[in-house]
Chain A
Amino acid sequence: KAGVTQTPRYLIKTRGQQVTLSCSPISGHRSVSWYQQTPGQGLQFLFEYFSETQRNKGNFPGRFSGRQFSNSRSEMNVSTLELGDSALYLCASSLGLPDEQYFGPGTRLTVT
């Protein structure tokens, strides 16, 4: 069974630009959650999508948004990038209950 895949793995953007990250969950998983990992703030929950609906949202500004498609694949978008957005963005999928989440390898975003 294929694991969670994230594309791209590495990304370099300039301040003010926008970026879209993609996540393909494990087959059959309907929940996709996104997390930001930085050395200073650690791992922080961004949002969760379940059956194409945002079910939970963390404490991030509106520049961070996401969506989920009918095949459960998810994208997150960050607009007007700031230097502080440099981070490892992790996607996790699960069947939907508050059960174990399976993480992808992450997308490392560097904002210059």
Chain B
Amino acid sequence: AQSVTQLGSHVSVSEGALVLLRCNYSSSVPPYLFWYVQYPNQGLQLLLKYTSAATLVKGINGFEAEFKKSETSFHLTKPSAHMSDAAEYFCAVSVRAGANNLFFGTGTRLTVIP
């Protein structure tokens, strides 16, 4: 079975500070991992994905994530927070070849303080 745990349902950072959103996964086979962002009243937008290539993945809007198999983690980071980063962030895992069912974490709401 596969699952995702996001530590911290709410994270607040100051504008310009480091953003760190945590995600740990559980999977019996090598996973595909994703980070999505959701702005109010909108759908999900893909930030980045890990599909067994480079372990350090760069995404849009300055975000990146590192796949650490030994820690079963895929934490999302951004060096300097911007006001426009305020949103809800979801980590997701997909493991079965040929299947497109994503298992999502419970989400982390990021607040950026001016």
Q: Name A residues whose Cβ lies closer than 8 Å to a Cβ of B.
A: 4, 31, 33, 35, 42-45, 48, 50, 55-56, 58, 90, 92, 94, 96-106
Majority SS at the chain B contact face = loop
The 8 Å CB contact of A102, one of B46, B92, B95, B104, is B46
B102 is an interface residue with CB less than 8 A from chain A: yes
B42 is an interface residue with CB less than 8 A from chain A: yes
The 8 Å CB contact of A45, one of B34, B51, B90, B101, is B101
CB within 8 Å for A45 and B103 given contacts A97-B98, A98-B97, A100-B34: yes
The 8 Å CB contact of B99, one of A90, A98, A102, is A98
CB within 8 Å for A98 and B104 given contacts A4-B43, A103-B43, A106-B43: no
State whether B90 touches A98 (Cβ < 8 A). Answer: no
State whether B90 touches A56 (Cβ < 8 A). Answer: no
Size class of B's contact patch? 20 to 34
Q: Name B residues whose Cβ lies closer than 8 Å to a Cβ of A.
A: 32, 34, 36, 41-46, 49, 51, 90, 92, 94-107
The 8 Å CB contact of B101, one of A33, A99, A105, is A33
Q: How far is the CA of A60 from the CA of B8 in the complex (A)?
A: 28
* Shortest Cβ distance from residue A64 to the other chain B in the assembled complex, whole angstroms: 14
Q: How far is the CA of A55 from the CA of B99 in the complex (A)?
A: 7
CB-defined A-B contacts under 8 Å, sample of 28: A33-B100, A35-B102, A35-B104, A42-B104, A42-B105, A43-B107, A45-B102, A45-B103, A48-B101, A50-B100, A55-B100, A56-B100, A90-B43, A90-B44, A92-B100, A97-B98, A98-B51, A98-B98, A98-B99, A99-B32, A99-B51, A101-B100, A103-B36, A103-B43, A104-B43, A105-B42, A105-B43, A106-B43
